[in-house]
Amino acid sequence: MLSVVYHPIYSDFPLPDGHRYPLQKYQLLKAYIDEHALPVVSHLPKPLHPDALTAIHDPDYVNALITGTLPLVKMRRIGFPWSAALLQRSLTSLGGTVLTVDKAIEEGVAIHLTGGYHHAHYDFGSGFCLFNDLVLAADHALKSEDVDKVLIVDCDVHQGDGTATLAADRDDIVTFSVHCEKNFPSRKPDSDIDLPLERRTNSDTYLDAFVPTLELAIAQHQPDMIIYDAGVDIHEEDELGYLSVSQQGIAERDMAVFHACKRHHLPVAAVIGGGYRTEQTALVPLHAELIHSALAVFYPHLSEKPNNE
Ligand SMILES: [Zn+2]
């Protein structure tokens, strides 16, 4: 069975009415998995201890967020009002990405039903990201005997600026971001590999650019594991992305990543990443492609995609 990591707290922290963050999509995705009786085993993460955050973040920044003393202007850059529940949710989701990495190393693949906080930098957060789970989990993976180099493949439509800066001086974390060229963040520090795409790039053009670059990244950097941010805000109807990739294109992207990992014997920890629609139920089939693809590639004997969508 495919390991997925999920906690009900992912959809449970206070937000002002009309807030852009798709708070409900996490529980909607879990409900979809349960309703379709997909062959997964669900793991409940524990909140990460705040001390663990200083492996990659400024201790003063960590302390200010934990104690609720971060200046309002810095909270505004993150985009959430501070609350104890928000902190607990963040620490639990960080524990979740770390657990997903552990499961992936054990089992070859695992999926986290949240994660992808790639706009969190060393001493500030932005774009709904407090702490950078991708770099933190990569740093954790490197403590494993079998992992000397991690490749972070960031397919969220927004460039992974925080990930790029946090891993800039590290040879053991390689960063690859494929994103919309004219979109948030306006300043895009260099990843090891950046693949900027024009607005309205369609599925075929996306896949023709992305798949060979992924193969090249693996060949060139020889990672021992991949952390995959499978953001679906590349979708044509996403409200914060400006690409024109279809649901089928998302499925093909996810399949391409998993096939590459399997072919190269690379464990893969995947997080669902971004995806923004006022009607949050519309996001569920898009994020579910990640689960279906993982099942099809790694558990083909268990896999049969429901055909009623
Ligand atoms: Zn995004």
State the residue range of the domain holding 232.
2-298
Given the structure tokens 């679906």, which residue do they identify?
232
Q: What percent of the chain has a predicted confidence (pLDDT) above 70?
A: 99
Residue 309 has pLDDT above 70, yes or no: no
Could you read off the pLDDT of 157-179 as tens digits, one per residue?
999 999 999 999 999 999 999 99
164 Cα: distance to centroid of ligand 1 (angstroms):
15
Q: Which residues surround ligand 1, an ion (CB under 5 A)?
A: 156, 158, 231, 233, 274
Residue 308, domain member (yes or no): no
CATH number at residue 177: 3.40.800.20
Q: Does a structural domain hold residue 104?
A: yes
In a domain, 307, yes or no: no
- Answer yes or no: are the C-beta atoms of 251 and 295 closer than 8 Å: no
- Strands in 2-5's sheet, in edge-to-edge order, are 40-43, 2-5, 109-112, 268-271, 225-229, 150-154, 173-180, 193-197
* Residue 238: both structure tokens together: 């996403």
| Distance of CA 146 from the midpoint of ligand 1 (Å) | 31
Rounded-to-integer distance, Cα 192 and Cα 214, Å? 12
Asked whether residue 305 is domain-assigned, the answer is: no
Task: Give the dihedral of Cα atoms 204, 210, 214, 217; nearest 10 deg.
Answer: 140
The structural domain count of the chain equals 1
Residue 303 lies in a domain: no
Question: 158 alpha carbon to ligand 1 midpoint, in Å?
Answer: 4
Is there a domain that residue 304 lies in? no
What is the 272 CA–ligand 1 centroid distance (Å)?
A: 10
pLDDT digits (tens, 9 = 90+) for 13-51: 989 998 999 999 999 999 999 999 999 999 999 999 999
CA geometry: angle 6, 30, 117, nearest 5 deg: 50
